[in-house]
């Protein structure tokens, strides 16, 4: 248990990353209040915590004002759909979640004198012209395209955080998360890791958008959670965004080959059109995280996939109708 027991609010705590964060905070001896509207998360992700005496769940949308009992010490804002098909399904609500929802949570943090951590994203760099991406790169984002509801919403949320910090109103911190994977990703969320594993396990065709030469850098979820907790607790507040991701860079075609090999699948690859504004390359420069947090990822892709594939296999056993998207 950590030295000081805190009460921590995790918005988006029933999602993929948020549920792992709730686990880690409870394991560290803290009280956790999970706030979620279950838009993309699931009660199943936190059902093991239901009877934990230090865990409570509030079903609420962060765009609305909700009541919290007692004093809160820290607020993590992870509430926002993260998969492109999911955040584009209701783009206005995605934008509102990042702007209105983040403003609401910042106000809550201000009222409680709580520290605040905003889950931002590598998408603030858009289709980057700098490679690897450093935090001082301002990005290349299309503000009118189909990804803008997410990218621009997250950029606006960062603005709110740094204004609150500069005004001395909230001890706000911003992490820029790069593609993260692991157990509890929703099998049909449409992201690349979930799609490829579910397709390979089912013997369905693996869907490669475009040539498959575009790259991503994949971080295992336990590494990300360690980075989130480190940034929330580091003193002094770095006052700048911090990239957290695994700098190992893979083409989508390489990832598909690795998944086929590790699942021993005979599925074929099929090529589908590349989505509009799909970033071509993405890899974090993590110098700042190393320097400020003493953080770096520990789990290489093959090890992370070896822990993730059995989880998806279990999902398919309990619901054979589940498909990639």
Residues that bind ligand NAD (CB under 6 A): 11-12, 14-18, 36-41, 61-63, 78-82, 97, 101, 119, 121, 177, 179-180
Between 164 and 221, CB nearer to ligand NAD: 221
Q: Which does 36 bind (CB under 5 to 8 A by kind): ligand NAD, ligand UDP, none?
A: ligand NAD
Q: Which does 180 bind (CB under 5 to 8 A by kind): ligand NAD, ligand UDP, none?
A: ligand NAD
Q: Which does 209 bind (CB under 5 to 8 A by kind): ligand NAD, ligand UDP, none?
A: ligand UDP
Between 210 and 238, CB nearer to ligand UDP: 210
Q: Do 105 and 65 meet the contact criterion of CB atoms below 8 Å apart?
A: no
Q: How far is the CB of 299 from ligand NAD (least distance, A)?
A: 14
Q: Which does 265 bind (CB under 5 to 8 A by kind): ligand UDP, ligand NAD, none?
A: none
Between 37 and 179, CB nearer to ligand UDP: 179
Q: How many CB atoms lie within 10 A of CB 128?
A: 20
Tokens of 119: 């889950």
Q: How far is the CB of 119 from ligand NAD (least distance, A)?
A: 4
Binding site for ligand UDP (CB under 6 A): 83-84, 179, 191-192, 195, 207-209, 214, 216, 252, 274-275, 278
Q: Do 63 and 101 meet the contact criterion of CB atoms below 8 Å apart?
A: yes
Q: How many CB atoms lie within 10 A of CB 174?
A: 26
Q: How far is the CB of 196 from ligand UDP (least distance, A)?
A: 7
Question: Which residue in 76, 87, 125, 150 is the catalytic one?
Answer: 150
Widest CA span in the chain: 57
Q: Which does 12 bind (CB under 5 to 8 A by kind): ligand NAD, ligand UDP, none?
A: ligand NAD
Q: For residue 194, what are the CA distances in angstroms to 162, 204, 291, 310?
A: 33, 13, 32, 12
Between 2 and 280, CB nearer to ligand UDP: 280
Q: How many CB atoms lie within 10 A of CB 162?
A: 15
The DSSP-derived string for 104-149 is HHHHHHHHHT-EEEEEEEGGGGBS-SSSSBPTT---B--TTSTTHH
Q: Provide the H-helix boundaries in the chain.
A: 16-27, 84-89, 91-96, 102-112, 148-166, 192-202, 221-233, 252-263, 287-288, 301-318
150 assigned to active site: yes
Strands 219-220 and 180-181, how do they pair? parallel
Enzyme catalytic residues:
150
């Amino acid at each position: 248990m950590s030295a000081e027991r805190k009460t921590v609010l995790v918005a988006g705590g029933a999602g993929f990353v948020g549920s792992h964060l709730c686990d880690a905070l409870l394991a560290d001896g803290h009280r956790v209040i999970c706030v979620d509207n279950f838009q993309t998360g699931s009660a199943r992700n936190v059902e093991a915590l239901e009877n934990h005496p230090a865990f409570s769940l509030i079903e609420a949308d962060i765009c609305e004002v909700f009541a919290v009992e007692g004093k809160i010490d820290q607020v993590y804002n992870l509430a926002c759909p993260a998969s492109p098909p999911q955040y584009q399904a209701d783009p206005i609500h995605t934008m509102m979640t990042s702007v209105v929802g983040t403003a609401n949570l910042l106000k809550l943090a201000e009222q409680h004198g709580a520290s605040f951590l905003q889950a931002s994203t590598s998408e603030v760099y858009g289709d980057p012209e700098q490679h690897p991406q450093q935090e001082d790169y301002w990005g290349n984002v299309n503000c009118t395209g189909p990804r803008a509801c997410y990218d621009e919403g997250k950029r606006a949320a960062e603005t709110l955080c740094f204004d609150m910090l500069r005004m001395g109103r909230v001890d706000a911190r911003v992490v820029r998360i790069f593609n993260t994977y692991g157990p509890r990703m929703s099998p049909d969320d449409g992201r690349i890791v979930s799609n490829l594993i579910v397709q390979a396990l089912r013997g369905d065709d693996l869907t490669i958008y475009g040539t498959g030469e575009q790259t991503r850098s994949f971080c295992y979820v336990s590494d990300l959670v360690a980075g989130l907790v480190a940034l929330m607790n580091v003193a002094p507040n770095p006052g700048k965004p911090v990239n957290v991701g695994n700098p190992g860079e893979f083409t989508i075609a390489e990832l598909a080959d690795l998944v086929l090999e590790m699942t021993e699948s005979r599925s074929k690859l099929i090529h589908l059109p590349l989505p509009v504004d799909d970033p071509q390359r993405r890899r974090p420069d993590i110098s700042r995280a190393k320097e400020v947090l003493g953080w770096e990822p520990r789990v290489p892709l093959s090890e992370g996939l070896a822990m993730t594939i059995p989880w998806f296999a279990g999902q398919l056993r309990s619901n054979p109708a589940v498909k990639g998207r």
